[in-house]
Amino acid sequence: MNVTSNRSNEGTRAPAYQAYRLLHLAFVAAPVIAGLDKFFDLLTHWDKYLAPSLLNLSPLSAARTMDAVGVVEIIAGLVVALRPRIGAYVVAAWLAGIIVNLLLVGGYYDVALRDFGLFLGALALARLSVTYHLRGVTRAA
């Protein structure tokens, strides 16, 4: 039996590595899916989540502003896919902005709380990426 492949196999079963893979997949998929949906409004009508005070700062309509938000989210998801150590912090910052926006809108405190959980998950992905991105399982936690 090859010792190297055995160690590699053990590493892929390590809970921390599995957590990294789950978070990595989630923070690629969720921003890309949400970003794409900004153009189609199949999941929800996204502009209802846009704070009027922030919309006043935009030269665009609410729908076009949310389209721009969608582009940013798609890019953020792709950055997580390619460079999770950076992308996870980009997504965390974006989620912090979304939380502030939701608090300004009011009435969506439950969504803001959910997004705070996602914010913490993005930070966890950033930390796990230091160990696991591009190193596979060579540095077990």
**Which range marks the domain in which residue 120 is found?**
3-132
Alpha helices, H only, the chain = 3-12, 15-37, 52-55, 62-82, 84-105, 109-132
Question: Residue 43 falls within a domain, yes or no?
Answer: yes
- Res 107 pLDDT > 50: yes
Number of domains in the chain: 1
Question: Residue 140 falls within a domain, yes or no?
Answer: no
How confident is the model over 43-95, as pLDDT tens digits? 999 999 999 999 999 999 999 999 999 999 999 999 999 999 999 999 999 99
pTM of the predicted structure, to 2 decimals:
0.85
How confident is the model over 1-46, as pLDDT tens digits? 343 444 455 677 899 999 999 999 999 999 999 999 999 999 999 9
Question: Residue 138 falls within a domain, yes or no?
Answer: no
**Band of residue 135 on the pLDDT scale cut at 50, 70, 90:** low
